[in-house]
Amino acid sequence: GLGRNNGSVKGVHYFDCGDKNGVFTKRNNVKRQEREEVVESEEKKESEVQVVEIATEEHNSMSLVETRQEQLWGRLLSTDYDFALERDSLSLLLSFSSSKPHRDALMNTDAVINGMIDVIQLHSPDLADFQCHALGLLVSFTLHLHKPDVKLTEILCSVVESRTRVLQISRDNRLLHSTKEMLALAVSGMENMFCSFMDADEKLRSMQIASDLFVFLADSLFKGPKSRRLAASKTDGVIFYRLSSFFVLSLGLESLRASILSIKFVSSSIRFIMMAAGLVSFDCHIPITESEGGEYWNSALSHCLFWLSCNMVQLSQDYLGTSYDALVADVESSPRSFLFCLEHIADKKFGDTSSIGAKQMLAKLELFAGT
C-alpha cells in the first residue's frame, strides 16, 4: 500500500483499512476528484490510498501522530482556535477544586497537571488570561500538599525565571501586565512550599531567582523615568508584596545568606523603601493610594523594613565587605535623604509595623555611625 498505517496510531483505532493503506492529513490537503479522474487513478495504482478527513478543527493545528492523548489542552498550539472549550473545561476544573474529593483527584491526575503545565509554558499574549487561571489552579494545590512535589516546585521556579526574562526584554504593556500577574502567583506558590516541601537546593534556587526579580523591578522603577513611577499599578504592588513576604522566610537561615544578602540586593531594598516612603517632594516617590493597591505597597514596605533591619548587624557588614552607611550613601541622590524617608515613615505611620521597622533601622544606623 501507499499509506502509513491500518487506521490505528499508538494503539488508538480511528478507522478500518488494510495494512499500509491509511494516512492522516489536514483538511486543506483534501481535494475532491471527478469520477473520471478517480477511475483513471485506480487504473494506475495497485491499491487505493484511503484519505481520512479530520472532522474537527482541533486537529488542523497538529498531526494526530504527534499528539499525546493526555495533553488535554494541546489544541492551544493552534493559532486559529477560539479556546472556548478549553476555557470552559478550566472553569469546570476550578469549580471542582473547591471540593476536597475532587481536588484530591485532580492533584493526583498527571494528565491534568501535565496539561496545565504545557499551557503555562506557552508564550502567547492571546493566552495570558487562560494561563493565569491555569497557574492559579496549580498554586491553589500548593496549599493542600502532604508531601514534596518536585514537579510543582520546578514549574513555579521556571515561571519566575522565564517571566523575569520577559519583563527584561518586552515592551508590550499587555504582555507585561499578565507577566507580572503570573510572577505574583508563582512567588506565592513558592512561598507556600518553601518551609515544608522544598529541599536545600530548591530553597537556594527559589531565593536566588526571587531576589533577581526584586532587584530588576526595584531598580527599573527607581532609575527609570518619573513617568514609570507615576504609572506604577496595583499589580506592581502585589508582586512586591509577594516577593518581600517571601524574603522574610530567609531570616535565620544562614545557608541562604549568600543567596540573598548582597550589595546589589541591599541597595535595591533601600531604593524600594525610598520610593514607597510617601515623601512627595522626592523625585523617586511612587504615588500610592488605597484604591490602587496601597495596602500591598504598604505591606511590602513593612516587610522590607523588617528584613533589612534584622540583617543590619555587624556580621552582615562583614559578609558584605562594606558598611550600611556606605551602601546608603551610594544609593542616595542627596545626603541624608534615606534618613529623611525613615523619619517620615516613623512619624506618618505611627504604631504600625512600618513605623516600628523604620525606628529600629534609624536606631541601628545611629549606632553604626558612632562606631
What is the chain's percent helix, strand, coil content, to nearest 5? 65, 5, 30
Contact 180, 172 (CB under 8 A): no
CA-nearest of 73, 198, 194 to 133 is 73
At 160-182, the pLDDT tens digits run 999 999 999 988 888 899 999 99
Residue 325, C-beta contacts closer than 8 angstroms, at least 6 positions apart: 365, 368, 369
Distance of CA 244 to the CA centre of its chain: 15
Residue 210, C-beta contacts closer than 8 angstroms, at least 6 positions apart: 160, 187, 190, 243, 246, 247
Tell me the three cell numbers of residue 154. 520546578
Distance CA 312, CA 116 (A): 42
CA distances from 60 to 77, 172, 195, 258 (A): 10, 29, 46, 51
Distance of CA 329 to the CA centre of its chain: 34
Distance CA 213, CA 240 (A): 10
Mean pLDDT by 10 residues, the chain (371 residues): 73 74 71 52 44 37 37 45 56 65 78 81 79 89 92 95 94 90 96 94 94 96 93 94 94 77 94 93 88 88 93 89 92 90 83 85 84 58
pLDDT of residue 88: 54
Q: Which residues of 69-95 are buried (b: 16+ CB within 10 A; e: fewer)?
A: eebbbbbbbeeebebeebeeebeebee
Contact 243, 214 (CB under 8 A): yes
Tell me the three cell numbers of residue 326. 556606605
Torsion of CA 246, 247, 248, 251, to 10 degrees: 130
pLDDT of residue 34: 52
Q: What's the start-to-end Cα distance of the chain, in Å?
A: 90
Distance CA 131, CA 162 (A): 14
Coil, strand, or helix at residue 201?
helix
Contact 283, 341 (CB under 8 A): no
Cross-strand bridge partners of residue 9? 12
Distance CA 250, CA 260 (A): 8
Contact 229, 285 (CB under 8 A): yes
pLDDT of residue 38: 44
Q: Which residues of 237-247 are buried (b: 16+ CB within 10 A; e: fewer)?
A: bbbbbbbbbbb
Contact 174, 125 (CB under 8 A): yes
